[in-house]
Amino acid sequence: MRHIFLILFAAVGMYLTSCRHSNASADSKKTTSDATWWKEAIIYQIYPRSFKDSDGDGVGDLKGIISKLDYIKSLGVTGVWLNPIYASPNKDNGYDIADYQSIMKEFGTMADFDTLLKGMHDRKIKVFMDLVLNHCSDEHQWFKQARTSRTNPFYNYFHWWPAEKGTPPARWSHFDEKADGWEYNKATNSYYLHYFADCQPDLNWENPTLRQDIYKMMRFWLEKGVDGFRLDALAFISKDTTFPALPKEYNGSWGMFYASGPKLHDYIQEMNREVLSKYNVGTVAEAFGDIERVMKFVAEDRKELNMAYHFEGTELGYLPNEYKMPDPKGNNLLDMKRVYSKWDSAFMSRGWGTMYLANHDQPRMVTRWGNDAPAFREVSSKMLTTFIMSMRATPYYYYGDELGMNNIKFDKVEDYNDIELLTNYTQIKNKGGDLKRFLEGMKISSRDNGRTPFQWDSTANGGFTVGKPWLKVNPNYTDVNLVNQEKDPHSTLNYFRKMVELRKGNKTLIYGKYTLLDKSNPKIYAYTRELDGKKLLVLLNFSDANATADTGIDVSKAKILINNYNSKSPDGQLRPYEAIIYELN
């Protein structure tokens, strides 16, 4: 049942794509007049474990990030999202939090964090913290106490099923070898709930004392001056605590069931009233579900959160019913256009979206959506950068993608670190499944591909660490690295910088109406962005061959704002992975 996350997104009829014929009155509501900083932000995601190691222990750290602040500034980005940096035993690399108000030992100290925050703010870069509120670590004091006795005051900070009631009703777990979401605890003679690994017990949001503790902790970070939160797995925080059997319609899509807790939005609205509304804070939710559900997190009148991810784009191109197993037919651009256009039109009149092609749960974007063969790695990276940065949604750009870093494609399971991959591997092994096929597929899709250390230079380990890196560095660091790219005005790095400036200087790219053109072209993604009489045309060739866009627009007199080839495009044809943005008037 691991495929459940692939089928979370049932289409909702009322929002079906109608990209050519957008609703003008709804669109006119989305102008610069409702601008807020987080809509105009360009967020750079840093996986701290893999960015820069300052002390030679092989693990990236806060001092490492501090030493690279000027580099981050040089990118032009306006915000940074840090994956969890809290105290953690790191079974899920920080998504198992043992203390929400202290810093992970390997990453440094609270004083380092304060220096980092000030350094970011001095450079006018906002900081988003990653908040994991569905679960904590079994090493958190709350859980250590809770599991000692049913009368312990922290017992009700978690969800329990008393053993005298028999075996608990089935709940699926994402990172459990038995896929069982309940774990027996002897001292209390009860089972605790964990939607993720058994070392990640789910927090009981029914308990108002727990909720107040969470809000207090959020205020602690906001008082320090953090600017935003990325709210991890937030859709799962509310549970029907009678724990009924899973409804039939959720057989095989338990994640959808998890994302529909009865009090989910009561809790988020309370969080907004008690905490978020009191600060100028940007929030982005991991908001599982279809458009109707996701909209509930971000529709302005609901007073909940600001931005939402959808997962529908990044889950394209996999075989149905098999977790993250790449479809041998490859990606289908028509599906991609349909999905991104659908979500654009959903956010046209309400809420606000995000645009990303990679993050710490995804492989590298160039391997998955572009082409990492030597002839195309750079040009297709630039094309994907153009896509991310020219859509109407806040871009979340993943560290290393500016260099065109690609998947490392491990051959051996021993090279992997990720709890998700290792769990899935064991499950397949226990069932006598095809491990070779699994490992081949994971070369494309596994999360560790996106977590390898940043490639700073051509010295050992790409200059990431002088020690032994916690995860291998992609051996192509000798060629693909920052130092090389700084020297080259046409590098993927310098292209990213140009694209950042283009977006920052162009409200049309931020707020402009999006219209899909040449919808059935299987190679080219073409769209216009329009605002206040200004019109831009974006042409992206997603294929490795020359292709022609049929947009009906005469570009002969149009100005080229950016082009990922260094020479002018021959009339009428886009070269492999070519990206061009034209100003039409």
Nearer residue to ligand ISL within complex by CB, 27 or 418:
418
Catalytic residue at 286? yes
248 burial (CB, 10 Å; 0-12 / 13-18 / 19+) is exposed
Rounded least distance, CB 268 to ligand ISL, Å: 17
Nearer residue to ligand ISL within complex by CB, 5 or 356:
5
Of positions 286, 372, 378, 578, contacts ligand ISL by CB under 6 A: 286
Q: How far apart are CA 125 and CA 121, in angstroms?
A: 5
Taking CB under 6 A as the criterion, which residues in 372-411 touch ligand ISL?
none
Q: Does 106 bind ligand ISL (CB under 6 A)?
A: no
Catalytic residue at 312? no
405 burial (CB, 10 Å; 0-12 / 13-18 / 19+) is buried
Rounded least distance, CB 379 to ligand ISL, Å: 28
Query: Strands 579-583, 559-563: parallel, antiparallel or unpaired by DSSP?
Result: antiparallel
Of positions 52, 147, 174, 535, contacts ligand ISL by CB under 6 A: 174
Nearer residue to ligand ISL within complex by CB, 180 or 486:
180
Tell me the per-residue interface mask from 443 to 462 with ligand ISL, x by CB under 6 A, - otherwise.
----x---------------
Q: Which residue is nearest to ligand ISL (CB)?
A: 95
Beta bridge partners of 284: 230, 307
Question: Which has the closest alpha carbon to 94: 514, 481, 470?
Answer: 470
Tell me the per-residue interface mask from 192 to 231 with ligand ISL, x by CB under 6 A, - otherwise.
----x-----------------------------------
N- to C-terminal Cα distance for the chain?
Answer: 52
54 by DSSP, 3-state: which?
A: coil
Rounded least distance, CB 65 to ligand ISL, Å: 19
Q: How far apart are CA 308 and CA 234, in angstroms?
A: 11
Q: Does 233 bind ligand ISL (CB under 6 A)?
A: yes
Q: How far apart are CA 460 and CA 467, in angstroms?
A: 9
- Active-site residue among 92, 138, 227, 286? 286
Rounded least distance, CB 47 to ligand ISL, Å: 10
Contact between residue 349 and residue 23 where contact means Cβ atoms under 8 Å apart: yes
Nearer residue to ligand ISL within complex by CB, 88 or 381:
88
Rounded least distance, CB 416 to ligand ISL, Å: 13
Q: How far apart are CA 493 and CA 478, in angstroms?
A: 16
Q: Does 191 bind ligand ISL (CB under 6 A)?
A: no
Of positions 360, 377, 382, 535, contacts ligand ISL by CB under 6 A: 360
Q: How far apart are CA 332 and CA 126, in angstroms?
A: 36
Q: Does 132 bind ligand ISL (CB under 6 A)?
A: yes
Q: How far apart are CA 194 and CA 179, in angstroms?
A: 10
Report H helices in 225-351. 254-258, 264-274, 291-298, 333-346
Nearer residue to ligand ISL within complex by CB, 120 or 419:
419
Q: How far apart are CA 233 and CA 287, in angstroms?
A: 7
Q: Which two tokens stand for residue 474?
A: 């992609």
Taking CB under 6 A as the criterion, which residues in 85-104 touch ligand ISL?
92, 95
Beta bridge partners of 500: none
Q: Which two tokens stand for residue 139?
A: 């090493």
Nearer residue to ligand ISL within complex by CB, 90 or 386:
90
Residues acting as catalytic residues: 232, 286
Residues that bind ligand ISL (CB under 6 A): 5, 92, 95, 132, 174, 196, 232-233, 286, 360-361, 420, 447
